[in-house]
Amino acid sequence: MEYRHQELQVWLHRRGELTHPLPERFEVEQGRLRSLALRARYRVQLLAEAPRLVELADQSLDAVAEIHRAKDATELMEHGERTEQRVERFVREAAGEVR
C-alpha cells in the first residue's frame, strides 16, 4: 500500500496536482518501495502453499504499476481503487493460510 501511495503521489506531482512539492528524491523512494513490495511478493512465493496467493500478489503489483498510465484524474482514481481491491483480496485469501 505504501508503494501504491507513492505511485499516486508521483502521478499527481507530475501533473501539477499537488500543492506541496515532493522531496527531490521521490523517484528513489518510489524504487525503494517497489523493491520492498517485490521482496514481499517473493516471500509469498517461498512460503505460500496455495499458488493462487502468488497470482493475487502479482495482480496487486501489476495494478500498482498501471497507476502511472492513468490519462486523467478519473482513471487515476479507478487505478487506485482497483489496486486497493486487489491488495485486500490478496490479504483476505492469505489470512486463511496464515491462521
The one-letter amino acid code at 31 reads: G
* pLDDT over 90 percentage in the chain: 52
Among 55, 74, 76, 52, CA closest to 66: 76
The one-letter amino acid code at 95 reads: A
Q: How far apart are CA 3 and CA 34, in angstroms?
A: 6
32 or 28: which leads in pLDDT: 32
What local confidence, expressed as pLDDT, does residue 67 receive?
A: 92
pLDDT tens for each residue of 9-27:
888 888 877 767 666 677 7
The cell for 46 is 517461498
For residue 38, pLDDT beyond 80 = yes
User: Which residue ranges make up each domain of the chain?
Assistant: 2-98
C-beta of residue 41 within 8 angstroms of C-beta of residue 89: no
